[in-house]
Amino acid sequence: MWRTMKKIYVLEKFSEGYTVTPLSLFLGHFLMILSCLITSVWAEDLKDKSYHFRFDEFHLDVSYEKFFRLNTPVAKTEDGDRFNLDVRFENENAKTDLETRFYILEETDYAFSLKEMYYKKILFNETEFSFGRKILKWNENEKFWNLGYLNGLQSLSLLSDKEEGVTGLFLSTQWKSLEFDFFLSYVFIPVINPSIDIDNGKVSGNNDWVRLPPTQTIYNGRIIPISYQLSDINYSRIVFNKSLGGRVLLNYKIQGLPGTLSSYAFYKPENKLRINASAYYNTALDNVTVEANPTINHHAYYGLYLTQKFPHFFGAFEGGISYVDPNAKIGKDINVFKIDNSRQTFQSDFFSIEPNYEKESYAHASYHQEIFSNKFTLHYIHLLTNNQKKSDDFYSDAVRFKRALGLRADWHLFEKIIGFIDYKYDFHRRDTILNIESNYFLTKHWYISLGTELIKAETDESFWSYYRSNDIVYTKTGIIF
């Protein structure tokens, strides 16, 4: 069959931000091994301590969720109701935070997210060592805007602000008013959600928000199908990559009011995999065959971050500047996985392929206020660089926000009703994103939920334009232990 194929050109990548299922399974097994290692070290440490399990250290949430579409997307993935199983355990020496989704489809599928799992130990004085998977809180504003440069995005749903940590060794120490944080890793675990399946040339996914590649193209004036296949994955070239990062934080007080000023820098693989590919015109089957191959790209991420508390009832401020450079290279010790034709662009009768390796810089600020048990946060973000790239058939490369205002309110009423409203508006693109959820506790452990996710994107250049027909209302019932 390969003799009947004519190679047309090489694509740099055909999509970004999701992981093919074989790689997801491999990474899942790798995380299981890591989990066993952390658990065994922690158990060994407990031998010398009189430890007694406390129920307040353990949290279990089992729920059933159903959603209803308010419109019909042009292209959508398989979807259905789902069972959710969320487990969290935390004490002074260890933490585990795992979420699992079981999708009810014609063939039951699942997805999981290990947000954090680490063991920590005080070595001496103010020095703490930990290893495992841990969320870094060096830029809290990034979480609200779902940027995903420092920590990975969980991506079990598009609008979720939940994150997944980085995996490696962590060391924190303190000297007078200064704090020092260091990170080193020889292992890279990319974001594994949302994952996709490639079966008989077709691409599918169980996550309703996954952006699938095109199924057909125009060649010589005719519409012909596209068939996808996965090349042999070199797992070691993906998993065994080095990362290095650090932060210096200064604690200070102004008229007795505490604040911090920190500077951080990170060099590591991008949290989302890139996928390069070769494309062929198959004369025997009269289709375009695309062979996909997952790969990574290192980037540098650095910035400044300021926090300042105000007098009582006046809240707190957080803000800073962050910079992302996907073209950065650091020495020979940090080996970057290089691929042929990695930075080329292509124009053909099949596709227009223009990889995005543009630098990005953001200024961001947030104001936090808490009234009784209710929290209110006002956010702003401004893209400082001139990023003009649009989304296209193969990418979600457009930046998420350019000049946007955000509002987050978390309420807690009468110990029975808790919920949140999350609103974002981009002044430059006129994008509007709204996520509302309310939970009512029928008993101490049993709750019901109602929520909605609404997306408005007026221009095709917006990152959100592909998802503007994915408005939903969802309901959920669950039990918390």
Mean pLDDT of 358-368: 94
Q: What is the rounded CA–CA span in Å between residue 435 and residue 176? A: 43
Residue 13: the pLDDT is: 39
Q: For 182-193, what is each residue's pLDDT tens digit? A: 999 998 988 888
The residue-averaged pLDDT of 397-421 equals: 91
Residue range 381-385: mean pLDDT, rounded: 95
Q: Minimal CA–CA distance to 176: which of 125, 243, 113, 112?
A: 125
- For the segment 94-123, what is each residue's pLDDT rounded down to a tens digit? 899 999 888 876 566 788 888 999 999 888
Whether the Cβ atoms of residue 243 and residue 268 lie closer than 8 Å to each other:
yes
In angstroms, the CA 129 to CA 120 distance is 6
Predicted confidence at residue 215, as pLDDT, reads 81
118 phi, psi to nearest 5 deg: -150, 160
Looking at the domain covering 2-480, what would its CATH class be? mainly beta
Q: What is the pLDDT of residue 320?
A: 97
3-class SS of residue 30: helix
Domain definitions of the chain by residue range? 2-480
- The answer, yes or no, to whether residue 294 has pLDDT greater than 70, is yes
pTM score, whole prediction? 0.84
For the ranges 31-40, 74-83, 272-281, 359-368, which has the lowest average pLDDT? 31-40
Residue type for 280, please? Y
345 pLDDT above the threshold of 70: no
Quote the CA–CA distance of 126 and 423 in Å, as a whole number: 40
Find all residues with CB under 8 Å of 54, minimum gap 6, and list them: 91
Residue 110 confidence (pLDDT): 80
- pLDDT for the residue numbered 44: 55
Q: What is the average per-residue pLDDT within 460-478?
A: 87
Would you call 330 helix, strand, or coil by DSSP? coil
On the question of pLDDT at 27 being above 70, the answer is no
Instruction: Name the region of 29 (left: φ>0; alpha: ψ -120 to 50; beta: rest).
Output: alpha
Higher pLDDT, 345 or 208: 208
Phi, psi of 345 (to 5 degrees): -115, 160
Most confident range (mean pLDDT) of 186-200, 272-286, 344-358 is 186-200
Which percentage of the chain shows pLDDT scores above 90? 41
In the chain, the amino acid numbered 83 is F
pLDDT tier at 127, thresholds 50, 70, 90 = very high
Phi then psi dihedrals of residue 167, to 5 deg: -110, 125
The residues near 469 (Cβ < 8 Å, ≥ 6 apart) are 71, 72, 73, 74
Q: What is the mean pLDDT of residues 287-303?
A: 85
User: What secondary structure letter does DSSP report for 81?
Assistant: -
pLDDT above 90: residue 147: yes
Residue 11's Cβ-side half-sphere holds a number of Cα atoms within 13 Å equal to 29
What token pair was written down for 433? 């994103």
% pLDDT > 70, the chain: 78
